[in-house]
Chain A
C-alpha cells in the first residue's frame, strides 16, 4: 500500500508480512509441537492523522494484531514500524520512546483500570512511569486531561467503580492521550456501551483526532461505525487481510466474497433480513492447521478453478483497493 498519493503523508504505522502464532501444545521438553496461527501475513499502513478500521468475525485475529503492534504479543516473522522505527527490534531508551508514541484502549475499561487507584493516578500513570514530574505536576496534568475528555476535575479523587461505563472509557482515553501518542489502537472501544453513550465516546475520539492529529487503528465488528469513523478499512479473515481500501468504497461496493457476505449480514435499516443462503454463515476454519489455497474456500459460493492456489492481496486496476481473490483481480 505504498502508492504515490499515500506517501504524501507520513506513515505512522507500517506493518509488513506480520505473522503471530501461539503455542498450542508442547512436548516433554516444553517445546511447542503445534501452534495457533492467529495472524498470517498482514501488511498495512496508516498515515498520520488518519484512521484505519479493522473488521472481521471474532477469532479472526484482530486483537492479536493490535497486541503485536503495541508490543504486547511477540512475533517471529514480519515487522512493525512506528514512525519509521522497528519497535520489536528497538532497545533501551529508543524502545521506551517508541512505546510512548502508541497507546491502546480496550473494550472493557473495568478490567483495564486498576480498581484501587483514584482517577487522577490512573490518568497520569503513564507520565509517572516516564518520570521527572512531581506529584503536584501529575495532578495538574491529570486535571487538564480530564477536562479534555469531558470529565469533571472535581471527580479526580474518586475510584473507577464510582463511574459509569462511558465515564470509565473517558478515563481510559485520558490516560491513553497523556503521553501525547501518535498512534492510538482502539480495540472495540464502544462495544460494551449503550448507543447513546457510544455516540458521546465516538464524538470525543473524533474531536481529539482533529485537535491533536491522532492516528487511529479502530477494531470493531460494527460496519456502520467503521464507515462513519474511518478513512480506510481492512477486512480480516483467518489472520489475513482479504480486502482493504477507502472505507466508503469498500463498504459500499465490496469485491471480496467474504466482505460481500459480511455486509449482507450486517443489521441494516435499509434492507430486509438476508436469505440464509446469501449469508454463507459458517465457522472460521481451524487455525492450528491453516488451509491450503484460498483461506475462504470452505465457505465461498464462487469457488472455481484457481482457488486451490494461495491468494495474494493485490491492488485492483480500476480502484484504490486491494483484494485477495483471483476472481476480483481478473
Chain B
C-alpha cells in the first residue's frame, strides 16, 4: 500500500503541484485555491499559516479527497500522496489511504468521534481495519498508544464515551487514533485552537515526539505563527488561496520577505512595546468570488506599484526561501516605477 510510485522524488510524502480549485455557488465560482504548490518530505514537519479563509483547510482536504464530492471543481494541478494521484481516485480507494497512509486531526474532536461508541471500540475498529491483527492485539496497541499520549489510565478511558472526556482528552484520543495505523503523513488542522495553552503545549510536544520517533511527516495548519515557529521545520504562508512565501521556519520568521508575511508578524503584540500602536493591516482579505487582478495583497499593500495591479507575481528565490512579490527577489531589480503608485 505504501509503495512509492516510480516517478516520485525520493523521500517525498506529499507533492501538491500548481493546484487550482473553485467552489461553484449561486453567485459565481469561489476561487479558493490558485496555483498552490506544497511539498512535504518524509519525516518532515511542515506548517501552513495564514488568516481564516485563506485556503489552508481546502488545500489539505483536496489533497486527501475530503472535500464534498460534486461541490468543487479542480481547475488545474496535480497531487501525489506517497505516489498516489489522489485527485483521480474514487471513494473506496481514498478510504483505503485514510488511516493507513494519511490521517487528519481536526479542530473539534467531538465531530470526529462517534458519540454512541466507547473510546476503546472506536480505536480498535480503526486499528483492525488497517492492520492484520485480532481484537486482543488491537486492544493492546490501543492501550499503548493512549499511554503514549500521556493518558493516565488508558484502560479506564477506553471504557468511556466521548462526552465523558474533556476537550483536551478527546483531542489526545484523536491524535492517538491518527497515529494508530502508523500513517506516513499526519495532517493536523488547527488541532489545538480551542484548547488551553497548557494542554496545547502538551499536544504539540506529543505530536512532535511521536512524529520524530516514527518518522511520520506532519502538516500542521494554524493561524498562530508563534505555535508554528515552535513546531515546524518549514512553513508556507498563504494569502487568499495562494502561497505567498515559504521556506525554513527560522529564515521566514527572522527575515520575512513578503509584505504580507512582514505585516502578519508586525501586527502581533509580542514584539511591540506595551501600549504602542500595533501595525494593523488595513482593509480585509479579498472576496474570492471576484478577486482583484494581479497580486491579491495589492489592495492592502503599502509597497504596491502599478505592475502589482495587473500581473500576478510568481514564487521566486532559492529553495530556502521563496517569495511571490514583484518588489522582492529578482524582481526587485526592476526600475522603480517612478511615482506611479
B251 at interface by CB-CB < 8 Å: no
Quick check: A265 and B205 within 8 Å, CB to CB?
no
Given contacts A229-B275, A265-B201, A266-B197, contact A196 B270 (CB under 8 A): no
Quick check: A199 and B278 within 8 Å, CB to CB?
yes
B305 at interface by CB-CB < 8 Å: no
Given contacts A195-B267, A195-B268, contact A268 B278 (CB under 8 A): no
Interface of A is mostly: helix
Complex interface bits, B224-239 against A, C-beta within 8 A gives 1, otherwise 0: 1111011100000000
Which residues of A184-198 are within 8 A (CB) of B? 194-198
**Min C-beta distance of B48 to chain A, whole Å:** 15
Quick check: B278 and A203 within 8 Å, CB to CB?
yes
Q: With A and B bound together, what is the CA distance between A273 and B220 in angstroms?
A: 15
Complex interface bits, A229-252 against B, C-beta within 8 A gives 1, otherwise 0: 100000000000000000110000
**Min C-beta distance of A281 to chain B, whole Å:** 4
Complex interface bits, B195-231 against A, C-beta within 8 A gives 1, otherwise 0: 0111111101110100000000000000111110111
B330 at interface by CB-CB < 8 Å: no
Quick check: B202 and A224 within 8 Å, CB to CB?
no
Q: With A and B bound together, what is the CA distance between A247 and B201 in angstroms?
A: 23
Q: Find the B residue at minimum CB distance from A261.
A: B198
Quick check: A224 and B51 within 8 Å, CB to CB?
no
Residues of chain B lying within 8 A (CB to CB) of residue A224: 226, 268-270
**Min C-beta distance of A207 to chain B, whole Å:** 8
Quick check: B226 and A281 within 8 Å, CB to CB?
no
Given contacts A195-B267, A196-B267, A269-B253, contact A281 B198 (CB under 8 A): yes
A228 at interface by CB-CB < 8 Å: yes
A306 at interface by CB-CB < 8 Å: no
Quick check: B280 and A196 within 8 Å, CB to CB?
yes
A94 at interface by CB-CB < 8 Å: no
Quick check: B277 and A274 within 8 Å, CB to CB?
no
**Min C-beta distance of B253 to chain A, whole Å:** 7
B168 at interface by CB-CB < 8 Å: yes
Quick check: A281 and B201 within 8 Å, CB to CB?
yes
A262 at interface by CB-CB < 8 Å: yes
B332 at interface by CB-CB < 8 Å: no
Quick check: B281 and A196 within 8 Å, CB to CB?
yes
Quick check: B201 and A228 within 8 Å, CB to CB?
no
B284 at interface by CB-CB < 8 Å: yes
Given contacts A269-B229, A272-B230, contact A262 B205 (CB under 8 A): no
Quick check: B280 and A281 within 8 Å, CB to CB?
no
Q: With A and B bound together, what is the CA distance between A248 and B277 in angstroms?
A: 17
Residues of chain A lying within 8 A (CB to CB) of residue B263: 196
Q: With A and B bound together, what is the CA distance between A280 and B168 in angstroms?
A: 13
Residues of chain A lying within 8 A (CB to CB) of residue B271: 269
Given contacts A196-B281, A269-B270, A281-B168, contact A228 B230 (CB under 8 A): no
**Min C-beta distance of B122 to chain A, whole Å:** 22
Residues of chain A lying within 8 A (CB to CB) of residue B275: 206, 228-229
Residues of chain B lying within 8 A (CB to CB) of residue A275: 205
Quick check: B269 and A274 within 8 Å, CB to CB?
no
Most buried by B among A229, A264, A276, A281: A281
Quick check: B274 and A247 within 8 Å, CB to CB?
yes
Residues of chain B lying within 8 A (CB to CB) of residue A196: 51, 263-264, 267, 280-281
Quick check: B198 and A276 within 8 Å, CB to CB?
no
Contact of B272 among A195, A228, A276 (CB under 8 A): A228
Quick check: B201 and A273 within 8 Å, CB to CB?
yes
Residues of chain B lying within 8 A (CB to CB) of residue A229: 269, 274-275
**Min C-beta distance of A22 to chain B, whole Å:** 19
Quick check: A195 and B51 within 8 Å, CB to CB?
yes
Q: Find the B residue at minimum CB distance from A196.
A: B281
B150 at interface by CB-CB < 8 Å: yes
Q: With A and B bound together, what is the CA distance between A58 and B167 in angstroms?
A: 11
**Min C-beta distance of B286 to chain A, whole Å:** 12
B312 at interface by CB-CB < 8 Å: no
B92 at interface by CB-CB < 8 Å: no
Most buried by B among A195, A200, A202, A222: A195
Task: Give 15 A-B pairs besides A264-B201, A281-B201 with Cβ atoms closer than 8 angstroms.
Answer: A57-B197, A200-B280, A203-B280, A221-B196, A224-B269, A227-B274, A229-B269, A267-B201, A269-B270, A273-B201, A274-B201, A276-B206, A279-B201, A280-B198, A281-B198
For the complex of A and B, list the 8 residue pairs with the smallest distance between their C-beta atoms, beginning with the closest: A228-B269, A267-B226, A199-B280, A199-B267, A199-B278, A196-B281, A265-B201, A194-B51
Chain A to chain B contacts (Cβ below 8 Å), 28 pairs: A58-B196, A194-B52, A194-B223, A195-B268, A196-B267, A196-B281, A198-B267, A199-B267, A199-B280, A199-B281, A200-B280, A203-B278, A203-B280, A206-B277, A222-B269, A228-B272, A229-B269, A264-B201, A266-B197, A267-B201, A267-B226, A273-B204, A276-B202, A279-B198, A279-B201, A280-B198, A281-B198, A282-B198
